[in-house]
């Protein structure tokens, strides 16, 4: 952006944290038939609409509020492998990996696990609940 107006600059700052996880494509207005208001209604830089105002409160971060967790791959492998040693875990892996309910598998779960499965509490992502 050469000289962004306040509206577009605030939008750019707001989406910076997602920069590595998405791609933004610019489409000409003639091609982009369902354009949104943010890209088609720029506001001028004025006193009522400054480019960006950094609030003082956002700079004060308590050091206790920052934590970094770095888990080793072996931890996740051990977690996935632990499901094979637990009957209910093994059945839930089979059920959540499929797009359909196999009633015979659901009925073989213990009652407490069956109730939780019926409530759709379990979701499988990369082999981990």
Evaluate whether 40 touches 6 at the Cβ level (below 8 Å).
no
Residue 119's pLDDT is 79
Specify the DSSP class assigned to residue 43. Answer: P
Residue 99's pLDDT is 67
- The string of pLDDT tens digits covering residues 16-51 is 877 777 776 766 666 656 666 655 566 677 777 776
Residue 113 has pLDDT above 80, yes or no: yes
Residue 38's pLDDT is 58
Residue 36's pLDDT is 61
Q: Rounded to an integer, what distance in angstroms lies between the CA atom of residue 18 and that of residue 27?
A: 20
Q: Rounded to an integer, what distance in angstroms lies between the CA atom of residue 111 and that of residue 94?
A: 17
> Domain-by-domain residue ranges, the chain?
6-62, 73-118
77's enclosing H/E stretch is helix 73-85
Residue 102's pLDDT is 78
Residue 105's pLDDT is 84
pTM: 0.41
Burial group, residue 111, by CB count within 10 angstroms (0-12, 13-18, 19+): exposed
- The string of pLDDT tens digits covering residues 45-89 is 777 777 666 565 555 666 666 566 667 788 888 888 888 888 888
């Amino acid at each position: 952006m050469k000289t962004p107006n306040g509206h577009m600059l605030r939008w750019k700052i707001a989406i910076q944290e997602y920069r590595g996880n998405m791609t933004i494509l610019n489409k000409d207005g003639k091609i982009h038939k369902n354009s949104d208001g943010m890209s088609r209604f720029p506001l001028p830089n004025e006193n009522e609409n400054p480019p960006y105002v950094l609030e003082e409160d956002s700079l004060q971060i308590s050091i206790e509020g920052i934590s970094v967790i770095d888990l080793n791959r072996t931890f996740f492998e051990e977690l996935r492998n632990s499901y094979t040693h637990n009957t209910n875990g093994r059945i839930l892996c089979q059920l959540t990996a499929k797009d359909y309910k196999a009633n015979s598998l659901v009925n073989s779960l213990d009652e407490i696990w069956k109730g939780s499965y019926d409530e759709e509490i379990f979701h499988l992502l990369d082999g981990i609940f």
